[in-house]
Each structure stands twice: as C-alpha cells, then as structure tokens.
Structure 1
Amino acid sequence: MRKSIPLILIAALVLTSCGRLRDTRLNPFNWFGRGESRQIEAVENRNPLIPRRNVLSAREKDDLRQPIQQVTFLAIERNPSGAIIRAEGVTTYQGAYEVELRPVIDETVPEDTLRYALVAYQPRLGVGTEASRRVVVARDLSNQELVTIRQIEVVAAANVMTARR
C-alpha cells in the first residue's frame, strides 16, 4: 500500500503533463495545423479559379459547378493511410449540391502544394441565412500523395485558406 500511493501520484503527474504535447509539433495530428485565410488578389483578366482548358479533358465541358463564395474552415486530419482534407464554406445561394474539392492543375501551382477549388452546383433559390448556405466537404489523400506536399490550399471565389506542415 505504501508503494502504490506514490506510484499512483507519479503516474497522475506524468499523464497530466501529456496535455502540453497536444499543441506541439511532436503530436502527429498537428502536422498540418489549422487553415489560415487570405483574400484573393485580382491578377490580369483571367479568373484563377478556372484552370486552363485541355483539349483532351471532356469532363470540364460537362461540369458546370461554380466556386462557392467563401471558405470558412480548413483542417487536415491525419489517419493511418494518409490524411483527410475537411473544408467548410458558405455558398452564394441556398440549395447547393454536389459539393467537391476539385484539384486545380495549373502551372502557377508550386510542386510542393496541392490546390483545390471548392465548387458546387448553386441554384438561385434564395440567399437566406449564412447557416442555411453552409456546406462541408472532405477528400481523402494517401500517404503516397502526401510525400512531397508541404502546403494544401482550398480556393473559393473570395478567399483562399492554406494549411502548412
């Protein structure tokens, strides 16, 4: 009994000190961190959300989804097979559907960056409250896709959110 009480106290102190590691880089769940937002600056007359067309790409002709208004949250959640990108945003109109993180393939994207456009079909049903226009989308990435990636960006019409390693 005499030896068990000090051992229990020491174990309790060690376990309570583990809370400090929660917000450090030693914790693998914090490797990408939270997303940070910045405004999109107008460059040229070309819309940066519309990738340059490829003659061989037939899907782009049929896909009429538009970028949503604003990205409000970005999180990269690690899992054993890679990571899950979770993004939340606010659409321009109510009733958005088929929300997707579409990869942006452009020569301006650095090699260590994954850039996605947050797009959806947005019927003009009405504006409503922000809560009624909120959408959530996720995309799974494998460890092979993440090997050279240092930064993940999610682009909307009004802003870009970035998560870095």
Structure 2
Amino acid sequence: MTRTILAILAISLTVTACGRIRDSRINPFNWFGRDRAEQSVVADEALLRDPRPFVAEVLSLKVEPTPEGAIIRAVGLPGLQGYWNAELLEVDRDDLSTLTYEFRVTPPPYQTRQSTQRSREIFVGKAVSTTRLNKVRTITVIGQTNRRAVRR
C-alpha cells in the first residue's frame, strides 16, 4: 500500500516538473525564438554569387528542431506569380555564432500577373545538423527589401 502511494506521489511530482522543462533551455523547441523583421538593401556584389534574384520580401522564418538538428523554414513573397526554384543559399561568414542565408528564386520565363498574396507565396526549407547549430545564436534569411532573424 505504501509503495503504491509513493509511486503515485513520485509520478505526480515528475509530471508537475514538466512545466519547468517546457519553458527551459533544455527543451529543443525553445532553442530559437520568434522571427523579427529588419529592413535591408541588397548590394550588387550579392548578385554575382548567384544570378537568381532575391525574393522580394521574406514573410516568415521558423526553426523547427529535428532529431538530427533543425529545419529552417522560410516563406517568401515575390512581386509576381510564377517564381520557382527557390533556395536558401548560405552566405560565408567568419562569425560562427550566426547563420545567414540568401532567399533566391528563379523568375518566370514569361510575363505573369500579380494576383493575390497567397498565390505568390513561396516556401523553402534547409536542414542543418546539430553539430553546425551548437555555436549558432542567430539565424538570418535575407530578401530584397527585408531580412528576418531568429535568436536563441
């Protein structure tokens, strides 16, 4: 009887401690916070690295943990419909505490219309390993008119 009561007490104390783990840095879902928008201007030399233009605007940025590391997901908004071949290209940086990506897209081969925002949205993702993320404090995705960043 006392063993059963002690077992129930131990389980209930363990379950109540989960609230603290949920909000702690131990939980991988808390590694990166909400994204923040920042204004940016793209330099001409950035276009030399890749002939594809930047997406016009980066709408959102999320970092979702996986067992192998994380997936960086971004949503971009080009000016017209028909943009394709989206990719996050890593920018070489000396600072190991930041990961910076350029959101590049290929324009349509012919003239298209603008239409609604939802029909123009482009989703892109990039997997990053745990070893690469160990020292990273900030992840940034750059578009033509803005950039979004998430921080630990």
Q: Settle same-fold status: TM greater than 0.5.
A: yes
Partner of 2:98: 113
Unpaired segments ≥5 residues, structure 1? 54-59
Is structure 2 residue 117 aligned with structure 1 residue 130? yes
Superposition CA RMSD, Å: 2.8
Q: CA contact under 8 A between 1:82 and 1:142: conserved in structure 2?
A: yes
Secondary structure (helix, strand or coil) at the match of 1:66 reads coil
Partner of 1:140: 127
Q: CA separation of 1:10/1:49 partners in 2, compared to 1, >3 Å: closer, same or farther?
A: farther
Q: CA separation of 1:14/1:122 partners in 2, compared to 1, >3 Å: closer, same or farther?
A: same
Counterparts of 2:44 and 2:91, CA distance in 1: 8
Secondary structure (helix, strand or coil) at the match of 2:80 reads coil
Secondary structure (helix, strand or coil) at the match of 2:112 reads coil
Deviations, residues 78-113 of structure 1 (Å, cap 9, x unaligned): 22211111111211111111110011236xx63321
Secondary structure (helix, strand or coil) at the match of 1:132 reads helix
Counterparts of 1:21 and 1:117, CA distance in 2: 34
Counterparts of 1:70 and 1:127, CA distance in 2: 14
Q: CA separation of 1:23/1:132 partners in 2, compared to 1, >3 Å: closer, same or farther?
A: farther
Q: How many residues align?
A: 150
Partner of 1:56: none
Is structure 2 residue 36 aligned with structure 1 residue 51? no
How much does 1:6 deviate?
10
Q: 2:31 corresponds to which letter in structure 1?
A: W
> Share of identical aligned residues, percent?
37
Runs ≥4 residues deviating over 2 A = 3-26, 47-53
Partner of 1:22: 22
How much does 1:35 deviate?
1.5
